[in-house]
Chain A
């Protein structure tokens, strides 16, 4: 069975702190894709990153970085020097190569306090 687990329901940090959002996935497929989306209060899911299962290279984009480790089936997301505008719900999602549907985790609500 395919599954995505985001064990952190809610995280609260003070502005400028670093914060890591955890994502653990389950799949038996050898080819799959992992995603992170941000959902601000407006409701629209905003695409952040996609990673292929055969590419374990970590990625950095500005204050955002992602750590993909197949050995632990994890795809964690770190925000460095968090800002109030980062406050949102963040979702990790999995897609198998055999299907185009996304399987989402339950999300982590991040609150960045000034």
Chain B
């Protein structure tokens, strides 16, 4: 078990480009979460999946953001037409799916939009 893996670790993109991040959760975890963290702030919830079903989405997740977990294993987060305000650390976490869960976080993908 190598923990929660996120790729890439860093991404620099030009404004207006699309970017996609990948998260591989701990293998036996059936819940997967995406958070966004800006400098000096705590992580903010974006969305979560139970298996392949996306069960909750934050209002922060605008139309330009989409997340998928097609086979209930890895997940992707895509941002279309990136804006400078999208620059942040994008964190993925997973949990077993118990009523009272502990969450394991990955090291994040740092996005810089120039």
Contact = CB atoms under 8 A, between A and B. Distances in A.
Interface of A: 4, 6, 33, 35, 37, 42-47, 50, 52, 91, 93, 99-107
Nearest to B44: A104
Contacts of B105: 37, 44-47
A94 B89 CA distance: 20
Contacts of B42: 4, 6, 91, 93, 104-107
B43 A33 contact: no
Contact of B45 (A33, A42, A52, A101): A101
Contacts, number: 58
B40 A106 contact: yes
A15 B81 CA distance: 47
B33 A101 contact: yes
B100 A106 contact: no
A35 B103 CA distance: 10
A27 to B, nearest CB: 15
Contact of A100 (B44, B95, B107): B95
Contact of A44 (B56, B102, B108): B108
A100 B89 contact: no
A45 B3 CA distance: 12
Interface residues of B, number: 27
Contacts of B89: 43
Nearest to A91: B42
Interface of B: 31, 33, 35, 40-45, 48, 55-56, 58, 89, 91, 93, 95, 100-108, 110
Nearest to B41: A106
A47 to B, nearest CB: 6
Contacts of B48: 100-101
Contact of A50 (B58, B93, B102, B104): B102
A75 B56 CA distance: 27
A103 B6 CA distance: 21
Given A43-B89, A45-B91, A100 B41 contact: no
B43 A104 contact: yes
Nearest to B58: A101
B39 to A, nearest CB: 11
Given A106-B41, A106-B42, A101 B104 contact: no
